Amino acid sequence: MSNIVVIAEVRGGQLKRPSLEAVTAALQLAAGTGGKVVAVACGEGLDAACADLAKSGAQQVIAIEGAAFANYSGDAWAKAIAEQAKGVSANAVLMAHTAMGKDLLPRVAALLDASVTTDVVAVAFEGGAFTAQKPVFAGKAILTAKSSKPVFCATLRPNNFAAASGGSGAEVTKVAAPAGDLLSVVKEIVSSSSGRTPLQEAKVVVAGGRGLKEADNFKLVEDLAAAFGTGVAAVGASRAVVDAGWRPHREQVGQTGKVVAPQLYIAIGISGAIQHLAGMRTARTIVAINKDPDAPIFKVADYGIVGDAFEVVPALTKAIAEIASH
């Protein structure tokens, strides 16, 4: 009977949605192992987030809470989480493939003498072993990794699993954050994207490329994203426009940018280079708007509009705004 730990991510007291997606993956594994799912959160002011975790379907919630953990500290958090994972005899530890997940889970894995598979899109427990699937070669192939260590660790691509809900209310155990373990202290966090929907968590990504001709024309992209309503869509960009200084790097989608898997990805004036596809080809539905009918983006698109972005996008924005307002 193998128990599964989910490391939950909490920002400003709020549980991040990809953590609930990790609970879904953990529940899938637990159905095979016969074990339980234990969600572990670190920080200060965790009550609301733990209440959400308690309703997620996880059987136990552990809050490692205290002023010493008010801000993220990889070394101290990893140590505290690894202790809890050992305490509940975890054989698997999952976390979302976010900036924090990429930093924290490998640290936890090292303390548990485990390996980590990153950016995973499917997990399974078969024949007594944990397996993970992840896209490789810019998304052209899927690699299946089998864990040979006693503890399996994986970061999960956001927006790939459904968010868990419908639990009957798990017990929340509070553990005091150890104060003496901080090798480094985060003094201040300055958000570069306050008020924006995080790119990797957005249900809809509206992305623009060099076909928009100049930076100011990204207003078309922003207006279309806004038409979906507050908190639904985020703006993305190709590397060509990021390199040109039209958009910030945090919006870049692709091999050297962010990997996104929204329900809807709208690519406007983007050719569909392999490096761009690496960041968005697992989106549920892809819509491409390009005036070149032979643009490679149409090979991965579910719906393609061959036309001039400057005519098509305003009409689409108007139509979406009308639908969203009903």
Binding residues for ligand FAD, rule: CB under 6 A, are: 209-211, 238-241, 252-257, 269-271, 273, 275-276, 279, 289-292, 295, 308-310
In sequence order, which residues have a C-beta less than 8 Å from that of residue 172 and are 6 or more positions away? 50, 51, 53, 54, 61, 62, 63
Q: How far is the CB of 274 from ligand FAD (least distance, A)?
A: 7
CA separation for the pair 176, 283 (Å, rounded): 40
Report residue 157 as tokens: 């691509």
Of the pair 19, 317, the CB lying nearest ligand FAD is at 317
d(Cα 276, Cα 254) in Å, to the nearest integer?
Answer: 4
CB of 209 to ligand FAD, least distance (A): 2
**CA-to-CA distance for 236 and 253, rounded, in angstroms?**
6
How many other CB atoms are found less than 10 A from the CB of residue 45?
13
**In the chain, which ranges are continuous DSSP H helix?**
17-33, 47-54, 74-87, 99-111, 219-227, 239-243, 274-277, 297-300, 309-324
Residue with smaller CB distance to ligand FAD, 238 or 317: 238
Minimum distance from residue 247 beta carbon to ligand FAD (Å): 10
Least Å from the CB of residue 282 to ligand FAD: 15
CB 177 within 8 A of CB 80: yes
User: Closer CB to ligand FAD, residue 39 or residue 253?
Assistant: 253
Task: Give the nearest distance from C-beta 257 to ligand FAD in angstroms.
Answer: 4
Give 149 or 291: the residue with its C-beta nearer to ligand FAD: 291
CB of 19 vs ligand FAD, minimal distance in Å: 26
CB of 220 to ligand FAD, least distance (A): 10
Which DSSP string do the residues of 35-99 spell out, in sequence order? Answer: --EEEEEEESS-HHHHHHHHTTT-SEEEEEESGGGSS--HHHHHHHHHHHHHHTTEEEEEEESSH
Strand partners, 161: none
In this structure, the chain runs to a length of 326
Taking the least distance from each CB to ligand FAD, the nearer of 135 and 209 is 209
Instruction: Compare residues 131 and 290 and give the one whose CB is closer to ligand FAD.
Output: 290
Nearer to ligand FAD, 57 or 269 (CB): 269
